[in-house]
Amino acid sequence: MITKYPLLYRLCPPLLIAAVGFFLSDGLLVEIAINWLLLILIETKGLGVLGLTPTPRRGVHLLAGFGIAAGMACFNWYLQTIFSGSVWSLNPSFTPARFLDGTWWTMQSVLYEELIFRAALLYIAINKIGVRGACWLSAICFGAYHWFSMNAFGNPVQMAFIFIVTGAMGYIFALAYAKTKSLYLPIALHFGWNFINTVIFSQGPIGNQLLILKRGELFNAYENTIVMLVQYVAFPALAYWYIVKRKPQVTEVSPPPPDAHHPPQDHSKIHQS
């Protein structure tokens, strides 16, 4: 039965996961199933092409990506605090349970977007139109998506700003997957930035978290320019530098077995004519 209907056999696991996801109203499971189905039906591949299997190198990318994003987010808030004279206080009702809930909410929001824009669709696009075109396509879609998620319709200036800013980060995240062939780095970069802003500095839709802003003044034009450069230039630039300048993975290839009719030659001596 399996050998007679191999495609049907391969479709069973993702279909089962999709059914469970719908039953439990779990969007992440449904997204995983859809990605799996797309890879099977279009590329005859499995989820392995998304680079989800843990390895030491991917662990390094995970830590480095989170460190870069979290560090830049903290620096950004440090500058805002200095410039505005902000006063922060610890949230007295912030408990370990709320920390876990906020962290998981942030991770879910990141995974939702990564599974849409940097998973099967990006892999398929890379194979169809190449890395550069696929990354730009992913960036455009990511920027346009934030018009809906941020409810920016009706304000052309805001729409243009959101499209450029989120589209630029979408390109960085897509390039991170394309260069590492794994979702670890884009997820780490995305999560690190969102985690600091949402869970630490309470700048998200889930309300007050660890730190609560008591008071602060508005920036002047010079200070606002510096903050914007950190957010929208320095962070993407640093992430881009890490993606393109990181040490490439070296794959060791075993030498082919010697041919019985042509024994291996001794290359230790170089013939000079």
Which pLDDT score is estimated for 4? Answer: 62
Q: Whole-angstrom Cα distance, residue 150 to residue 145? A: 9
What is the mean predicted confidence (pLDDT) over 188-196?
A: 97
Q: Higher model confidence: residue 220 or residue 228?
A: 228
Contact indicator for 172, 189 with CB cutoff of 8 Å: yes
- 3 state SS of 213: strand
pLDDT, one tens digit per residue, over 3-56 is: 566 888 889 999 999 999 999 999 999 999 999 999 999 999 999 999 999 999
pLDDT, one tens digit per residue, over 104-141 is: 999 999 999 999 999 999 999 999 999 999 999 999 99
- 3 state SS of 269: coil
Of the candidates 141, 200, 183, the residue with the CA atom closest to the CA atom of residue 166: 141
Confidence of residue 248 (pLDDT cuts 50, 70, 90): low
Of the candidates 235, 247, 220, the residue with the CA atom closest to the CA atom of residue 190: 235
Average pLDDT, the chain: 88
| Model confidence, pTM | 0.86
Which pLDDT score is estimated for 249? Answer: 53
Domain boundaries, the chain: 7-45, 54-245
Contact indicator for 77, 251 with CB cutoff of 8 Å: no
CB atoms within 10 A of CB 261: 5
Contact indicator for 119, 138 with CB cutoff of 8 Å: no
Q: Whole-angstrom Cα distance, residue 77 to residue 80? A: 5
- 3 state SS of 107: helix
Contact indicator for 204, 213 with CB cutoff of 8 Å: no
Q: For 254, left (φ over 0), alpha (ψ -120 to 50), or beta?
A: beta
pLDDT at position 57 over 90: yes
pLDDT at position 257 over 50: no
**DSSP letter assigned to residue 181:** T
pLDDT at position 68 over 80: yes
